[in-house]
Amino acid sequence: MRLNGLSSHRTVFSEETKIYSASPPFSSFDFIESRFNGINSLRRCFSLARSLGMETITLEKISPQGLILEENNELQAYFPDYKFKGALRLCFWKKGFKKTEELKRLTSRDFIGYAILKHDQVKSKRVNKWHVFEAVFKKYPNPRNFIARSKTFKISCGDRQFSIKGVLYCQQNSLNKACAQVALRSLLSNHLPEGDISYKKINELADITPESGREPGKGMTVVEIRRVLTSLDIGFRDVDYTLDDKFRDSLPYQKFIYAGVESGAGAMLGFRFSGPEIPDNAPPRHIIPFFGHTFNKDTWVPDAEISYFDVGGGVGYVPSENWTSSFIGHDDNFGPNYCVPRCHVNKANVDYVVELLNREVKYSGVHAEAVSLGFIYSLVPSIPSESKENHWIKRLTKFIRMKRIVLRAVFAKKKSYIANLKDFSDWEGNRESTEFLNDLEDMLPPYLWIIEISLPQLFPANERKIGEVVLNPFVEPNISKDVDFDLFLMARIPCYYFFLDSLEEGNPMFLLLDSNIKSHMPLIRRL
């Protein structure tokens, strides 16, 4: 598959471009109701565009090419009476204009987003409707909304091409794609070298074909989702909560979503409906993709959890996830780029969660964060006694004993980690040796799990850290070991770097090298 072939529905030129001013008395509600029968997801698209400063809308009729043409062929194989009734491309602009010639003075900075709509008809299924085949919108300029990995899309409008950066949104049609297929396509478009994937390919990998007797519009099972990810060599860690209710407490779904979105790989959450009108014996189910999160530095949760609700308990540290207010994701029923409160979905309703991993990574961010605590405990006895007069080492060891250190697992390029150490000084202005960092860069693998160590207040208010544990993401963990030093590359705290010198009867002996950094530094940049 080539990107040009897959994306030609975005870049195909149209013979006519209609232009609509979004200024009063234009009504998005009237426009959507009169032309598209009031699609909720399209209302959300217009709402996003309006929030981002929409002044003008362009509408173009496009011929079936690329993924639209492939979908038409798949639908014809399933439903002999299928008819393609048309496709439209809507583009949203921050500048006002009235003529297509004026597109020449616009740039991609004026481009807010786009939505491609498709009209399918299958009389035998009583289907005759529009749906949002795909859409992409810019992220809100809110500095507290984090999306670790956005993709650049090329879109034609008039006789020109523009680009926009965002995360692909897709809507099901209940014919050849349900919520699982559109959630997979949304996230996989950021993973695959082809830049996208067709629904026909997703269904084939899941072994859902006309010959299988399974209709893809009826959804996918956990086994089928796993089959797709495995076939594409996409690593993942998932939990099927229907197998054991105890998993809901021991493996909370929020940890897997947070790890997936913080690493930039993404996650999906499957849940069942509830309410007085939902049958208990066969409740409908839904699955949605996540790709970002919000950060609330003033949240009460981290302190309250330890001090009031889990006194003397906990896992020995404060997860950085506790400062997350919402996860950012799509809901194909409602539209793109929603904030979903971190604990809003009742754990009793959750059936499935899957954290995607970056290519060739062998273990989850959840695992990296958990095992790092063992490494931290292991290195504390090796801290030279004379250095414990350093205020930040004192604070570190004190907060370790109190089980109140903050840990944040970040999947990052080696170059990003080295740049973090090169480009910033500590709070007193000390900088690390460039020569040492060049040597360090030579010995590390290209990507790393970096588990940053911070303290309450320092982490949320300053967004700074006092050190990190660095792990090799490409080594398969040995779950039989309490502390698996095969994963360990190094650790850093004020004044020192720690490298494993040897293991004597399972006890680590560390090689310590001096560091110029004596206090805290900024958190590492996301991918």
The pLDDT, as a whole number, for residue 526 is 59
User: Which amino acid, 270?
Assistant: G
Number of other residues whose CB lies within 10 A of the CB of residue 191: 22
Which among 8, 2, 201, 266 is positioned nearest to 116, based on CA atoms? Answer: 8
Residue ranges of the chain with per-residue pLDDT less than 70: 1-4, 309, 311-314, 526-527
| d(C-alpha 305, C-alpha 339), whole Å | 23
Which among 417, 406, 403 is positioned nearest to 324, based on CA atoms? Answer: 406
Number of other residues whose CB lies within 10 A of the CB of residue 439: 11
Number of other residues whose CB lies within 10 A of the CB of residue 39: 20
- Taken in order of first residue, the domains within the chain and their CATH numbers are 3-356 (3.90.70.10), 365-522 (no CATH)
Structure tokens at 231: 């076939």
The pLDDT, as a whole number, for residue 131 is 97
| Contact assessment for residue 154 and residue 136, using Cβ atoms and an 8 Å cutoff | no
The pLDDT, as a whole number, for residue 311 is 66
| d(C-alpha 364, C-alpha 358), whole Å | 9
Per DSSP bridges, beta strands 318-319 and 406-413 are parallel
67, 109, 149, 410, 451 from 446: Cα distances, Å: 34, 33, 18, 14, 16
Number of other residues whose CB lies within 10 A of the CB of residue 33: 13
The pLDDT, as a whole number, for residue 384 is 93
E strand or H helix that includes residue 259: helix 253-263
Per DSSP bridges, beta strands 82-93 and 56-61 are antiparallel
The pLDDT, as a whole number, for residue 314 is 67
Burial classification of residue 111, based on how many CB atoms lie within 10 Å of its CB (0-12 exposed, 13-18 middle, 19 or more buried): buried
Structure tokens at 459: 């982490």
E strand or H helix that includes residue 505: none
| Contact assessment for residue 327 and residue 340, using Cβ atoms and an 8 Å cutoff | yes
Number of other residues whose CB lies within 10 A of the CB of residue 484: 19
Which among 252, 448, 417 is positioned nearest to 342, based on CA atoms? Answer: 252
**In the block, residue with structure tokens 């940049």:** 525
Helices (H) and strands (E) in the chain, counts: 14, 23
Q: Please state the pTM of the whole predicted model.
A: 0.92
Residue 316 is given by DSSP the state: S
- In 3-state terms, the chain is what percent helix, strand and coil (to 5)? 35, 30, 35
The pLDDT, as a whole number, for residue 313 is 67
